Copies of this chain bind each other. A is one copy, B any other.
Amino acid sequence: FVRRVMCNGTSEDSLFSVPLEHLCPPLQSVVQVNFFCDYEESKGNYLVDVDGNCMLDVYTQITSIPIGYNHPALTKVMTDPKNMGTFVNRPALGMMPPEQFFEKLVNGLMAVGPKGFSRVQTMACGSCSNENANKAIFIWYRVRAGPWISGVLLFFFQVPGCPDLTLLSFMGGFHGRTLGHCNSELKTCSLLTGPSPPFPQLRYPLDQFERENAQEEACCLEEAEDLIVKWNQKGRHVVGVVIEPIQAEGGDNHASFDFYRKLRGITKKHGCAFLVNEVQTGGGSTGKFWAHKHWGLDDPADIVSFSKKMLTGGYYQKDGFQPDKVFRIFNTWLGDHTKNLLLTEVIKVIKTENLLDQSKRSGKVMLEGLYDLQDKYPHLLSRARGIGTFCAIDVKDEDTCNNLILKARNKGVVLGGCGTQSIRFRPALVFTEHHAHLFLDIFNDAIAEL
């Protein structure tokens, strides 16, 4: 597979030889469409567009392609005739699972489950994973708290619309785009309000600002604990704390592992469930399968949600979070077993090809390269940061950031933004040091043109 260089694009913002209007009748919003892709021709780290342009993909469908395009292990799943029935007949997994359902869970999701979690609940996307994890926390609390308005269908809250149970989520957190998420700063559409302390605004590189950062984190933790106490006093019980190990949509905001360890301590002290949202961080790109493993805790969480690179959605939960009654956590499909089949192979590949180590090595090249670039272009770039290949850098302003993403694309690298003026790097796990160097070269050229 030879990487061809981008060759068309008469104007920089039009990569299409066919006018966009011909490709997209006004059926669906297309303004956010970057370009159309040829997924049959794409391979490994390279995404091919409909004009045959082949681009190094450092965005991977918003972080959701685990082992590159058209990995042979996955095409094999598709050509195995005994998997046919799974792909054409979608079961209601909660009621009539296929014979191999639990076996695939054991060899798939449970084989990479965080230590201490004996249970997994499959879902279909990041939104329903977090929504149902929230529900599981409310149920856990109500069941412990004694008799409650009950039935197969249930009322969480004493007064509908005025929830007396809340979840704490830091400002800038992001947990999905349906209506019941506790997104704080990015309050896209949340109906579920709760306390929202500031998330630490750290200085990077972290190891050069340890003292300042520790102070900042201490303030945020203090405010978080204060808010839990105050909301509890108001009768709006903070029954859980929801957090990402790295705030991704919010701008790739890191906090130290120590911050998370202390926060976990606070949740235990105040009887809050701790939901760690690994929808974007999970699956290996930080160099560990779960980003929370970096914290080094024996009991890091009560629930860990996932999706994206895991292909299916869902969450791991401790025993106590299993609802007391049937149908409390339920929907028609409860996930998609075809994704479990593919995930089982993804996990085998991660293990046999040692891709967690690969992420560490490539990440090292990436981050060092980003440090060099911000030294070289200090007026343009700042705050290079990352763990494994899960890296980001800030650009001086939003327009320059968007412009840089466009220039990189025209030079053959697909990137995505986050926050207001950050670029997030989200390669697949098969991204090697070679690809990291290639990316850095092209990125350097794009910056030089600004």
Contact = CB atoms under 8 A, between A and B. Distances in A.
B124 A124 contact: yes
A89 interface: yes
A397 B97 CA distance: 28
B177 A330 contact: yes
A28 interface: yes
Contact of A121 (B25, B29, B332): B29
Most buried by B among A176, A180, A193, A330: A180
A28 B176 contact: no
Contacts of A71: 88
A183 to B, nearest CB: 8
A7 interface: no
Interface residue range, chain A: 35 or more
Nearest to A109: B27
A29 B326 contact: yes
26 contacts: A27-B120, A29-B323, A29-B329, A32-B95, A32-B327, A36-B96, A36-B98, A36-B101, A37-B91, A38-B98, A42-B89, A47-B96, A61-B95, A62-B332, A70-B85, A75-B88, A90-B311, A125-B125, A128-B178, A131-B179, A132-B177, A132-B178, A153-B187, A160-B187, A161-B190, A180-B189
Given A32-B327, A161-B191, 16 more contacts: A28-B102, A28-B122, A29-B322, A29-B326, A36-B97, A36-B99, A61-B90, A64-B90, A64-B92, A125-B125, A154-B188, A154-B189, A161-B162, A179-B180, A179-B181, A180-B191
Interface of A: 23-29, 31-42, 47, 50, 61-65, 69-71, 74-75, 77-79, 82, 84-92, 94-99, 101-102, 105-106, 110, 118-122, 124-128, 131-132, 134-135, 138, 153-157, 160-163, 176-181, 186-193, 307-308, 311, 322-323, 326-327, 329-333, 336, 338, 342
